[in-house]
């Protein structure tokens, strides 16, 4: 976009099944460690044994601040766990790391007016809704907490981040199913490009490992089956034996900054946000059209807005959730967009994390940024049998990360309702 402000990434923060903290999570990803575990073993009295799929990408927790684990005391003030839903708690933790990483925790009053938040969630707090309903049925109005409504609203992650740090710029929340994280980052980038802010904290959070959520996804036959005794093998994007996605939880946060502003304060720059494309399928609430026309439109739009060619893209972090139809359609869409797709590295980090629903796009954007910065394509785990006869004939980075020059990379996110988004990140060039 000629004449628009350039936007760069200056801070990263993550809460994920493969670890809490950028260093820990990235190391886990490139070393091929899985964060998918048994819900029955982790939470034996929660009723997960009633369900056909009993596994999830679970954020590791501790009460001793062990490296790579989530400890609410490290990022929340006393009382926050009672007044904030779990998805907001994850968001606060990821935001704290990203802002510290960017060295943007105590800007002045004038700078805070030019700093905003764009943070979303796909589902919000289903747990608080179901729990409060049961309490109301059992004890009436007196059992309902005055924090019930403030806890469940989808904009509360954005609101609490803004309140904690006193950010007075744009305060925006996205909720577009599994495309939420990518939309939040893309929208935040546009706020900066159009001069509404100099700095934006962008991302998404999800914490829906809740019995009703898994029951709902089970009912539409979306979840992986047959891996309750081997959870780490369940998420297998592009593999012939993929059977559905593995639900996950977590949050990802990125500090986006106007280039001139970042350079003036000597900020470290991870990568440049070059492109953002979005589209609608206009087809079906859960299934993509054959050939992935909507996905193609999003990718082409992102590459066009980045003002680069498809030949400049070296890595694609695919949405690929490990469903039979979704992976096939996205694979077809990638091959349609990239005439020389055989030279690409294409992988799905969901093979390690599971599908983080609304937070997926934010967490995967972080992995894409790090792929560009470090020239490493993360692996696709569990890719044992690729069915070339069904069109799967690309380099899906099976099992082991690949070192390769990555000047630009694209990441995809697609959601129920037929909503699609793609982001392009590139090495920063002065």
pTM of the model: 0.97
Domain that holds residue 289: 275-426
Are 49 and 155 found together in one domain? Answer: yes
pLDDT tens over the chain, length 430 residues: 445 899 999 999 999 999 999 999 999 999 999 999 999 999 999 999 999 999 999 999 988 778 999 999 988 999 999 999 999 999 999 999 999 999 999 999 999 999 999 999 999 999 999 999 999 999 999 999 999 999 999 999 999 999 999 999 999 999 999 999 999 999 999 999 999 999 999 999 999 999 999 999 999 999 999 999 999 999 999 999 999 999 999 999 999 999 999 999 999 999 999 999 999 999 999 999 999 999 999 999 999 999 999 999 999 999 999 999 999 999 999 999 999 899 999 999 999 999 999 999 999 999 999 999 999 999 999 999 998 989 999 999 999 999 999 999 999 999 999 999 999 999 999 8
Are 183 and 329 found together in one domain? Answer: no
313: CATH: 3.40.47.10
Phi-psi label, residue 177: left if phi above 0, alpha if psi -120 to 50, beta otherwise: left
**How many domains does the chain contain in total?**
2
Are 288 and 258 found together in one domain? Answer: no
Are 287 and 190 found together in one domain? Answer: no
For residue 40, tell me if it sits in a domain.
Answer: yes
| Gap between the Cα atoms of 60 and 35, Å rounded | 8
For residue 315, tell me if it sits in a domain.
Answer: yes
Where a domain ends, among 198, 230, 264?
A: 264
Catalytic residue among 93, 118, 178, 207: 178
Are 242 and 333 found together in one domain? Answer: no
178 carries an active-site annotation = yes
């Amino acid at each position: 976009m000629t004449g628009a402000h350039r936007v760069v990434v200056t801070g990263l923060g993550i809460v994920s099944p493969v670890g809490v903290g950028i260093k820990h999570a990235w190391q886990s990803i490139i070393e091929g460690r899985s964060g998918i575990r048994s819900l029955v073993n982790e939470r034996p009295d929660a009723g997960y044994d009633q369900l056909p799929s009993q596994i999830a990408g679970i954020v590791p927790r501790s009460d001793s601040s062990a490296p790579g684990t989530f400890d609410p005391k490290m990022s929340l003030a006393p009382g926050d766990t009672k007044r904030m839903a779990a998805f907001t708690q994850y968001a606060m933790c990821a935001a704290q790391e990203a802002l510290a990483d960017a060295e943007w925790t105590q800007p002045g009053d004038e700078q805070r007016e030019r700093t905003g938040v764009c943070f979303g969630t796909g589902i919000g707090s289903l747990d608080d809704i179901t729990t409060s309903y049961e309490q109301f049925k059992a004890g009436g109005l007196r059992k309902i907490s005055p924090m019930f409504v403030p806890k469940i609203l989808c904009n509360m992650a954005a609101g609490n981040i803004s309140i904690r740090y006193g950010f007075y710029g744009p305060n925006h929340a996205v909720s577009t199913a599994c495309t939420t994280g990518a939309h939040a980052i893309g929208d935040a980038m546009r706020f900066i490009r159009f001069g509404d802010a100099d700095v934006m904290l962008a991302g998404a959070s999800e914490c829906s490992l809740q019995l009703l959520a898994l029951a709902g996804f089970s009912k539409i036959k979306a979840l992986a089956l047959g891996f309750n005794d081997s959870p780490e093998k369940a998420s297998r994007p592009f593999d012939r034996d993929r059977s559905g996605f593995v639900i996950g939880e977590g949050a990802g946060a990125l500090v986006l900054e106007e280039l001139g502003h970042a350079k003036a304060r000597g900020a470290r720059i991870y990568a440049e946000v070059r492109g953002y494309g979005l589209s609608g399928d206009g087809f079906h609430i859960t299934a993509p059209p054959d050939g992935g026309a909507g996905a193609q439109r999003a990718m082409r739009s992102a590459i066009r807005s980045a003002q680069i060619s498809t030949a400049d893209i070296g890595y694609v972090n695919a949405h690929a959730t490990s469903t039979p139809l979704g992976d096939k359609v996205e694979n077809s869409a990638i091959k349609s967009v990239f005439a020389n797709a055989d030279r690409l590295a294409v992988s799905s980090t969901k093979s390690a994390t599971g599908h983080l629903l609304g937070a997926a796009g934010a967490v995967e954007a972080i992995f894409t940024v790090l792929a560009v910065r470090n020239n490493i394509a993360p692996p696709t785990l569990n890719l044992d049998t690729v069915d070339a006869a069904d069109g799967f004939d690309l380099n899906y980075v099976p099992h082991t990360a690949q070192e390769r020059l990555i000047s630009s990379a694209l990441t995809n996110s697609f959601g129920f309702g037929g909503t699609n988004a793609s982001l392009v990140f590139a090495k920063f060039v002065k």
